[in-house]
Amino acid sequence: MSSPAALPTSMNAVICHGPENYELQEVAVPRPGPGEALIKVEAVGICASDLKCYHGAAKFWGDDTRPAWAETEVIPGHEFVGKVVELDAAAAERWGIAVGDRVVSEQIVPCWKCRYCLRGQYWMCAPHDMFGFKRRTPGAMAEYMLYSADALVHKVSPDLPPAHAAFAEPLACSLHAVERANIQFEDVVVVAGCGPIGLGMIAGAKAKSPALVIGLDVAPEKLALARECGADLTINVAEEDVVAKVKELTDGYGADVYIEGTGHPSAVAQGLNLLRKLGTYVEYSVFGSDVTVDWSIISDDKELDVLGAHLGPNCWPAAIRMIESGILPMDKICTHQLPLADFQKGLDLVSSGKESVKVSLIP
């Protein structure tokens, strides 16, 4: 396969050499192998998990109880959209795409061989190669990237701004957490955290039409955005006693469902305390440190269902439809778009968390 005439041989890319050691470097533009697609990256979101990886969290770099999962000398970036530049007939047929199409790929590149993949539980694939964390799957903080033959690729409307289209990844994750919660029509649902993930959880929970969707955060402007995304009610946890307020709203029983998307250890105890007996707790966050709670609330006190959620399996089409439908205030969610060279500024913006919601790089 010959390369398109206009294609450069080198490109700028962010390279992760290890925690707090990321550099913008000139590297070769990758060449697609059999069944792969070469993509010109249009936008890549910076995720809270990118920041935790940057700061060296144990989940990525290991500790006494687990080996490192992330690898060095990898281009980060797992929330992305781009245009197809080059692909062979096998890739075009597998994904139903052509040169010029705008496409996202799911962040996980399943092996399709392990027990989980063979059972359809591809998002928990044992080797767990994700774009932006492994050498086999370089990410999108670069001008070009490859969609591996094992990737799951979806078309997106060319009419969306690139940063909005790249929001399909975090939104799919939010929607999966909502699916895990198994929301019923009479439920009072509390979503903790009104960042990019929490806002998507609120939109997803609202789409299930429960009795009440309540958003929690400490920033008034994020609470306002939560109401635009579908929260019936918001509570500022810095100003109000959330547990008392939720009990007041539920005849003293507590909420039916709590979906945690803050990553703050204090939000865990808060959720256990504001749930009713036999309630459902969904944990989505990646924590930077251990969390300590009294587990007897889960057993003896309330007999709770505590569920984890990871990635956005089978939720990508719904996330893309939701973004394309225009029901979300995407201009207000995608607050910052920076050039690739400003990746450090982007990480800092996500780190401070105050002035930004979703920060994206535009390579």
Q: How far is the CB of 79 from Zn ion (least distance, A)?
A: 5
Q: Looking at this protein, which amino acid is placed at residue 64?
A: D
> Is the CB of 111 or the CB of 211 nearer to Zn ion?
111
> Is the CB of 107 or the CB of 234 nearer to Zn ion?
107
> Is the CB of 204 or the CB of 210 nearer to Zn ion?
204
Q: How far is the CB of 170 from Zn ion (least distance, A)?
A: 5
Cα 209 from Cα 203, distance rounded (Å): 10
* Number of shown-chain residues binding Zn ion (CB under 5 A): 7
Cα 163 from Cα 149, distance rounded (Å): 25
What number of CA atoms fall less than 13 Å from residue 59's CA on the CB side?
16
> Is the CB of 274 or the CB of 334 nearer to Zn ion?
334
Span interacting with Zn ion, options 71-79, 212-220, 245-253, 269-277, rule CB under 5 A? 71-79
Write b or e for each residue in 181-199: b if 16 or more Cβ atoms lie within 10 A of its Cβ, otherwise e.
bebeeebbbbbbbbbbbbb
Span interacting with Zn ion, options 79-87, 129-137, 212-220, 351-359, rule CB under 5 A? 79-87
* Interface with Zn ion, residue 47, by CB under 5 A: yes
Span interacting with Zn ion, options 76-84, 182-190, 211-219, 352-360, rule CB under 5 A? 76-84
Among positions 7, 58, 92, 114, the unique one binding Zn ion when judged by CB under 5 A:
114
Span interacting with Zn ion, options 110-118, 223-231, 248-256, 318-326, rule CB under 5 A? 110-118
Nearest Cα neighbor of 30 from 143, 132, 154 is: 143
Kind and range of the H or E run holding 177? helix 168-181
Neighbours of 24 (CB within 10 A): 15
* Interface with Zn ion, residue 125, by CB under 5 A: yes
> Is the CB of 111 or the CB of 306 nearer to Zn ion?
111
Q: How far is the CB of 151 from Zn ion (least distance, A)?
A: 13
Q: How far is the CB of 245 from Zn ion (least distance, A)?
A: 30
Span interacting with Zn ion, options 118-126, 273-281, 292-300, 333-341, rule CB under 5 A? 118-126
Q: What is the DSSP string of 302-316?
A: T--EEEE--S-TT-H
> Is the CB of 56 or the CB of 127 nearer to Zn ion?
127
* Interface with Zn ion, residue 111, by CB under 5 A: yes
Among positions 117, 231, 243, 315, the unique one binding Zn ion when judged by CB under 5 A:
117
Q: How far is the CB of 117 from Zn ion (least distance, A)?
A: 3
What number of CA atoms fall less than 13 Å from residue 335's CA on the CB side?
17
Long-range Cβ contact pairs of 346-355 (< 8 A, separation 24 or more): 346/46, 347/22, 347/46, 347/50, 347/51, 347/54, 349/46, 350/46, 350/47, 350/48, 350/50, 350/51, 351/51, 353/195, 354/219
> Is the CB of 36 or the CB of 50 nearer to Zn ion?
50
> Is the CB of 125 or the CB of 237 nearer to Zn ion?
125
> Is the CB of 49 or the CB of 280 nearer to Zn ion?
49
The residue ranges of DSSP E strands in the chain, in sequence order, are 10-16, 22-28, 37-46, 79-87, 102-105, 108-109, 129-130, 144-147, 153-155, 188-192, 212-217, 233-236, 255-260, 275-283, 305-308, 336-339, 359-362
Tokens coding 242:
């959330």
Nearest Cα neighbor of 274 from 205, 196, 189, 337 is: 189
Span interacting with Zn ion, options 80-88, 95-103, 122-130, 245-253, rule CB under 5 A? 122-130
Q: How far is the CB of 235 from Zn ion (least distance, A)?
A: 26
> Is the CB of 117 or the CB of 359 nearer to Zn ion?
117
Cα 247 from Cα 16, distance rounded (Å): 46
Span interacting with Zn ion, options 21-29, 87-95, 106-114, 276-284, rule CB under 5 A? 106-114
Cα 182 from Cα 302, distance rounded (Å): 18
Q: How far is the CB of 173 from Zn ion (least distance, A)?
A: 6
Residues that bind Zn ion (CB under 5 A): 47, 79, 110-111, 114, 117, 125
